[in-house]
Structure 1
């Protein structure tokens, strides 16, 4: 007698079906809102940029280290977006704290490239002493002469409202208008918007730092094209939402150079 084939528990099937319905509502809400769609386009452009450069042959171990951290950010952003659109706002925000930690770490590497090797070769004790998140933020604030402690405040918010089990963290598990904590996914447009805005800001920073570790304006048309798209999308986004001027003259020069490279191929 053939044994009956076991199946996934029905409750897990129903949970997945519920997540899919919420995802459809989330996508519809994003596509109906220009700002949200701009945020998603930025996130995708950064992920596409990382995907291209993280797969190239590294010049050395330091660059490979950046590529591996880039792969982690790619996974973080993809996972956070999936959690967000399926209605898990607290989990999406918790994942973004990892992005923030890597962005700060890249900030230190950008200012002191020798730290890449030191970080890679450090043991657990040294890494905790030198590269603990608070130590990285302290270095960056001192280097940039920032006295307000905005990095620490932003990190604390992600800890309290997303990563750590706190009373404040239940905010991302209940509807915006109030009510009981929801066990499982739920659709809430204001929560989705808030988390997506944070995701876009972190993605923009991640893309800027990651890009700085690679030569992108040489003779490789594919590399320049991948870099240029991220640069344009990020620049236009930053101009619109952060008030930072977008260097269109530089973009035109790079587009002309890209056409020249393609013509020589």
Structure 2
């Protein structure tokens, strides 16, 4: 099953783009999550959440290529929760300590997924509720036991629910697209907490993630890639290495 899935990805330019983005983000997280936090517990908290995201993305892709589409999508809901939590922390850094030291009641009161989404929407002035709809989709079709969720357990053309793995090109494409979008958000949010120019290796990893993400977003989301910034980063990297 995995060989067939990988062969399918390798034969599709768009799917390869999504996987390249996934790899660039995971390499970035891997590098910065392992840096010495020098006793900064807030930074270590962000790093530990990065380790969780890394494992989530690796697991989701593994389940995807093994033919377990519902399980892969369910794992992505956890990625979304951490992505939004990072967004909260970036806008209100004091909340990192409060989240880390909170008990269960406080987490439910302040940091539940719904409360975090509301804070972000209010802070950003978003009234469309897109974050909530995206989260609900993952709950309804993947994480919760619902009738709609069986769609990820049967071939896209219909038929019986599959017990065990199966290959379906359309389901693979749909889940991998969602995975790529969340990976892009995760990389952007995680990167906000770190000094990209601390050394040549840090800048090289950051430059690769930023460039891959920018090209992907321009191609698939219609967002213009900031090539001038890429060139500036490349120039700074060359100076660090000289």
TM-score over 0.5 for the alignment? yes
Match of 1:187 among 167, 175, 184: 167
Secondary structure in 2 matching 1:183: coil
Q: CA RMSD in A?
A: 0.7
The answer to whether structure 1 residue 262 and structure 2 residue 238 are counterparts is: no
Pair 1:156 & 2:103 matched: no
Partner of 1:102: 82
Aligned length: 241
Aligned counterparts of 1:227 and 1:251: Cα–Cα separation in 2 = 10
- Paired with 1:151 and 1:251, the residues of 2 have a C-alpha distance of 29
1:65-104 → structure 2 map (5 Å cutoff)? 65-104=45-84
* Distance (whole Å) between structure 1 residues aligned to residue 33 and residue 130 of structure 2: 30
Pick aligned residue for 1:199 from 167, 179, 184: 179
Deviations 1:185-208 (A, max 9, x none): 000000000000000000000000
Residue of structure 1 equivalent to 2:152: 172
Q: Quote how far apart the aligned CAs of 1:229 are.
A: 0.5
1:58 alignment counterpart: 37
Q: 2:28 and 2:148 mapped to 1: Cα distance?
A: 35
Quote the offset at 1:159 in angstroms: 0.4
SS of 1:214's partner is coil
Q: CA deviation at 1:217?
A: 1.9
Q: Is structure 2 residue 100 aligned with structure 1 residue 116? A: no
Partner Cα distance (1:87, 1:168) in 2: 18
Measure how far apart 1:113 and its partner are.
0.7
Distance 1:221 1:138 in 2: 38
Q: Give the structure-1-normalised TM-score.
A: 0.90
DSSP-derived class of the 1:166 partner: coil
After superposing the two structures, state which structure 1 stretch, 182-191 or 254-263, moved more: 254-263
Q: Deviations over 1:128-159 (max 9, x none)?
A: 11100000011111111111111111101100
Q: CA deviation at 1:234?
A: 0.3
2:195 corresponding residue in structure 1 = 215
Q: Does 1:34 align with 2:13?
A: yes
- The separation in 1 between residues aligned to 2:129 and 2:236, in whole angstroms, is 41
Which of 247, 255, 262 is matched with 2:226 structurally?
Answer: 247
| Counterpart among 121, 124, 130 of residue 144 in structure 1 | 124
Aligned to 2:176, the other structure's residue is in SS state: helix
SS of 1:165 mapped into structure 2: coil
Alignment partner, residue 14 of structure 1:
none
Q: Which runs of 5+ in 1 are unaligned?
A: 1-21
CA distance in 1: counterparts of 2:170 and 2:146, whole angstroms? 21
Which residue in the other structure is 1:235 paired with? 214
